[in-house]
Structure 1
Amino acid sequence: MSNTVLKMINFQLVITSDQLSAVRQQLADQRAIGVDTETTSLDPFEARVRLLQLAAPEIVYIVDLFQIPKAAIAPIKELLEAERPVKVIHNAKFDAKMLRHHYGIELNAIFDTMLASQLVSAGDSNQRHGLSDLAWRYLGRRIEKSLRTSDWSGSLSQAMLEYAAEDAAVLLTLRQYLIERIKELQLIDVAKLEFDCVLPTAAMELAGIYLDESRWEKLVAAVEAQSSRLETDIKQALAAASQQIDLFGQADINLNSPQQVQEAFARLGIPIQSTRELELESFAEDYPIIAQLIDYRHQQKFLSTYGRTLLDHIHPATGRIHADFRQIGTPTGRFSCSSPNVQQVPNEPEVRACFTAPPGRKLVVADYSQIELCILAEFSRDPRMLEAFLNGIDLHRSTASLMFDVPIDEVTREHRAIAKTLNYGLLYGMGAAGLAARIGAPVAEAEKLMARYFEVYHGVADWLRAAADTAVSVGHSRTHWGRLWNFRFDPNHREQVATVQRLGKNAPIQGSSADILKRAMRLVYDALRDAYIVNSIHDEIVVEADQPIAEDVAEIVHERMIAAAQEFIRAIPVEVDVHVGDAWMK
């Protein structure tokens, strides 16, 4: 850590249009400027932007936007939308939303110190990435944050202005440090990828997604009723073997208690070792009560995660749901989502059908076809896998045909299902025991199937082995764009080594998929007019458009998503499935 101490910050309060024009002239030739805002609320639909801080190396200009008419902000709009200077911002998504919503400003040439720090941390979940955390960790400087929650709608004290100036001034120093680390760790390409994705993410959050409230309420009521019936049926079935019966002749157990459920099944002679879903699924076909329990749990999870509380997330100002997307939500670079999590909405048609386009508009739902397997084929250059993709043959059927030595038109549904389980499962480090549980076969048979799979795809076998070995030997993995994940483990600890080997296989695949999607989001965002991204889910982009242009928008989305993937995947064609409709359905 450096012991750098920033000198006393020189700042100027800007309160007139003439001063604002002068600021633009002063900053236009800078290579980089720090940018920050202070707002009256964190909600862009409720907030007003009070201050806009613009930092040069020797001075911070603090623009009091309450004093300047919107009609007079053109000089600053030009500055912030220009290719240069670079705008150094911490958590740029927040400021991008505020400036876009209130002033129509599209930030350009962003360097986000929060995203840069997350990239440099290389998957270290113990590191925090708030501005004060970065200033202390990288610069040895403490930033006073007690004024962050000040009332920015009232009069401005000297302390508030000094706080605002410091937040902006430190950004330029942070950028210099982070640039050196980004270069040192060879993260330039992925940093550009992440910075380019800020505007699409901000616009997606602002746009929100529309929910048919009436349809949702009916769905939730139906699930509640069905869940109640299932609970009654399960408890009645368990009553015969239970020592505790309630007044209604039902087993007096808590179905959400793994211990109580396992003990109840043991009394029925069902030999489950745990109540985890993977274990339960292997018994569901033979024991209807277990199938009922699985359904009951799914319904309870839906009701607790979404249920009636989802309606509370509909914003009164827009009538839409505005979720919070965290751009680097996992070490592999995937998004995470909260408040609410619209990425993990169940895939059942009756659930997705509630997420609709409002009258006069359509949803364009586009998703990559087998993108992770395309990435595996690109990385491994396995000749048989490449051949299937190049010839447009269903990969799972082709895999089954090769594994079971049958003509492709004679592949059974069961054989294809086994092949699909292997194709995807091995990417995530699935072993013989996991395969056996998924296909309902003995472990010995699963081991033979895996061995046969690697005989068929020797290129895949070689790549997976090399990826696992490299992860252990060098202690990290990278995606095509260079995203870094450092693995922290004890090389003498067998289980930790096994975990790193598994991550070493999966991280380059899943991470490259995340990188492709982010690149696609930027390309789609740049091409859209009168349409906007409303959701993004791992390999899928959902766009809302006016009905008359929806088909044209679908074509644009299709082209841009393919273009993004082909920046990396060049050995085989990439397919994107696109559907235009009234709801979030494929």
Structure 2
Amino acid sequence: MKLTAKSIIRRYSCTRSRKDSPGSFYSWAETQVMMQYNQLARFVEINNSSFLNYPYQLIDNPADLETALEPFIAAKIIGIDCETSEGIDPYQAKIRLVQLAIPHHPVIIIDLAAIDSSDLSPLRQLLKGNALKVGHNLKFEWMMLAQAGLKPSRPFFDTYLAYRVLTAGLKCSLSLEAAAAQLLNVKLDKKLQTSDWSGELTTAQLQYAAIDAAIVLPLRTNLKRQLKKALLWSTALLEFACLPAVAQMELNGMWLDKQQWQLLKEQLEAQQKALERELSSLQIPSPNKQICLLPEFTNSINLRSPKQVLAALQAQGIPVSSTNTQALIPLVNEYPIIQALLDYRSLSTRISTFAEGLVQHVHPVTERIHPNWFQIGAKSGRFSCREPNLQNVPRNPATRQCFKPASGHVLLKADYSQIELRIMAKVSGDMRMIAAYSKGEDLHKLTASLVLGKSLSEINSSERQLGKIINFGLIYGMGAKKFKNMAQAEHGRVLSLEEASQFRKRFFESYAGIAEFHKHIRRSWLQGIRESRTLGGRRRLWSKDSQPLLNEMLNNPIQGLSADITKLALAKLFAPLNRTGARLICVIHDEILLECPIAEVEPVKALLKCSMVEAGDKFLTPIPCEVEIQMIESWGG
């Protein structure tokens, strides 16, 4: 009877899974499998549905492991995937299977439940080797393998990150299923992804596992070609280099002082009650009685009802047609009740989102918070995180002081100094701004002197603060009205619309390079261009069905390059940091936070600064890159 690839693989897998059968069938079966596999590989190029019956070899005893891995030792590219039992939490779940794929060879499926960790040395050495490790969302595999003592080493090619780089800005699924369908025309059945991997494995589960490891190899080939064609290869390489730092950061987590956090929660609730009493004076007439704004005093008005709140405000003679924050801010000085309402809203959000919600994310095993970090979470290329979103933790000291280092450690908080302004100087070529940075001048004082018509020596601290507000408010093309509202809402600086208009006019007269850069972006915007690039080549796209906002096209080259710089710093920092006792625990845009043993503060500070400055210099030269590092007892200072 003629042997088929499927029948040989079945015989081959069954025979190799028996612990007492390393005999002569191995070489015969492998020869037969490779003959059939080569035919199958040629068929794959014509009909991708052949992935539904991909050849694999199950390894469930240490005697077979070393022999099975021999063909992988010389491989330059290895596809990697894992299947876990008991969920996907790296501190509670366990790896059941590790699947490895190389071109023109059956997938190796290693059953870790059947092999003692002391017998995994061949696998451990392979993963530490120089072969390119390919996978989809390798952050997960990296964390799981690291927890199992099988931490893989660079280089990496993450098809998830690659697909994200290619499609940044567009709404599309980044799942392996979606990528395979879009790029390879392969329809994957992912129903078994959530099946029980802890018991006896079925043929369907093993076939599923094999496909997940094998499919990433042709995905890589396709994505690499498209990335190079789109001039995004360097951006993808940067993301791959940054990947292990992000995975390690997620494993490290941050420590929250729960006792101090509870006291903060009680203080916030007390402040909320005080605001409720203040707001109780806000009433509207009713045919029968006075209706109070807060349900604590009557049950007629719901504070969360914009319609009812609007009616209450209008009944007090306040000229407002919306309860939107931007509509209320200009009225704060004339109507103090508006500030109380805005404060009440802010407190309510802090209490529900953070004071009550954050402690629920403290891990039962580590007693730390481990958010899910997304390396390209924002369309610009910036990080984002969820469950919880630490990037949105209020910046006030009382809140951030609850985040502390482990015993015997301190926090090192490193910030790039005025990174977005330095990037604007670089991308716009503004000569005045470049000269100021080259001479080490205070750019905020310079801007204040230019818009106020004073000499630098005459600028006081309040005027310097105004210059800072102007710099960060106007580099993204903010209009006078929005600039006025931003200055008041975020900085407490009250400006008339005329003052805001004058400051805006003088700013762009003073920095002609920035004005010209804005004109160039505006022309592209008016022409319907739906693509934006950073100096590093990172791209953001807009779909044909959506009109990009002008401020988005102005923001992207700046914030996208800031992301490039931060990620390059993390990639440079990863290996040398692992040789110390310090660990990366958080990244908030251009801020990097480390937890460091007290005895290692000075060398780690030097290492951190060197990595960050080198990353900045790569993109900003000749504009100097400056980094400020603080040693602090808590995140709040």
TM superposition score normalised by structure 1: 0.94
- Is the aligned partner of 1:65 residue 2:112? yes
C-alpha separation between the residues in 2 aligned to 1:248 and 1:468? 51
Identity of aligned residues (%): 37
- Is the aligned partner of 1:483 residue 2:530? no
Counterpart code for 1:61: I
Counterpart code for 2:506: R
**1:468: how far off?**
3.1
Alpha carbons of structure 1 residues 449 and 46: separation in structure 2 relative to 1, 3 Å = same
Alignment of 1:497-536 (within 5 A): 499-528=548-577, 529-536=580-587
Equivalence for 1:291: 339
Equivalence for 1:141: 186
- Is the aligned partner of 1:541 residue 2:592? yes
**1:250: how far off?**
5.9
**1:482: how far off?**
1.3
Contact 2:536 2:564 (C-alpha < 8 Å) held by counterparts: yes
Alpha carbons of structure 1 residues 51 and 247: separation in structure 2 relative to 1, 3 Å = closer
Contact 2:142 2:247 (C-alpha < 8 Å) held by counterparts: yes
C-alpha separation between the residues in 2 aligned to 1:425 and 1:388? 19
**1:248: how far off?**
7.4
Deviates more, 1:244-253 or 1:372-381: 244-253
Equivalence for 2:360: 312
Report SS of the residue matched to 1:428: coil
Equivalence for 1:345: 393
Alignment of 1:364-513 (within 5 A): 364-412=412-460, 415-439=463-487, 440-473=494-527, 474-489=529-544, 499-513=548-562
**1:78: how far off?**
1.8
C-alpha separation between the residues in 2 aligned to 1:309 and 1:504? 35
Contact 2:123 2:150 (C-alpha < 8 Å) held by counterparts: no
Counterpart code for 2:446: S
Equivalence for 1:6: 50
- Is the aligned partner of 1:157 residue 2:202? yes
Alignment of 1:31-430 (within 5 A): 31-40=76-85, 41-58=87-104, 59-84=106-131, 86-125=132-171, 127-238=172-283, 243-245=290-292, 252-412=300-460, 415-430=463-478
C-alpha separation between the residues in 2 aligned to 1:323 and 1:456? 43
Per-residue deviation, residues 61-111 of structure 1 (Å, max 9, x unmatched)? 001111222122222222212222x11100000000001112141332110
C-alpha separation between the residues in 1 aligned to 2:296 and 2:246? 53
Deviates more, 1:40-49 or 1:253-262: 253-262
Where does structure 2 lack aligned partners over 5 or more consecutive residues? 1-44, 488-493
C-alpha separation between the residues in 2 aligned to 1:455 and 1:3? 62
**1:411: how far off?**
2.3
- The correspondence for 2:67, drawn from 22, 25, 35, is 22
C-alpha separation between the residues in 2 aligned to 1:15 and 1:171? 24
Where does structure 1 lack aligned partners over 5 or more consecutive residues? 491-495
Contact 1:235 1:250 (C-alpha < 8 Å) held by counterparts: no
Report SS of the residue matched to 2:410: strand
Equivalence for 2:604: 553
Contact 2:399 2:636 (C-alpha < 8 Å) held by counterparts: no
Q: Name the larger-Rg structure.
A: 2
C-alpha separation between the residues in 2 aligned to 1:371 and 1:247? 47
C-alpha separation between the residues in 1 aligned to 2:451 and 2:526? 30
Counterpart code for 1:484: R
Report SS of the residue matched to 2:619: coil
C-alpha separation between the residues in 1 aligned to 2:593 and 2:480? 37
**1:287: how far off?**
2.2
Contact 2:295 2:302 (C-alpha < 8 Å) held by counterparts: no
TM superposition score normalised by structure 2: 0.87
Counterpart code for 1:89: G
Deviates more, 1:367-376 or 1:102-111: 102-111
C-alpha separation between the residues in 2 aligned to 1:249 and 1:477? 53
Per-residue deviation, residues 503-530 of structure 1 (Å, max 9, x unmatched)? 2211010111111111111222222121
Counterpart code for 2:532: S
C-alpha separation between the residues in 2 aligned to 1:254 and 1:3? 61
RMSD: 2.2
Equivalence for 1:493: none
Per-residue deviation, residues 233-255 of structure 1 (Å, max 9, x unmatched)? 21234468984248976694222
Per-residue deviation, residues 392-427 of structure 1 (Å, max 9, x unmatched)? 222111101012210113225554344323322233
Counterpart code for 1:135: A
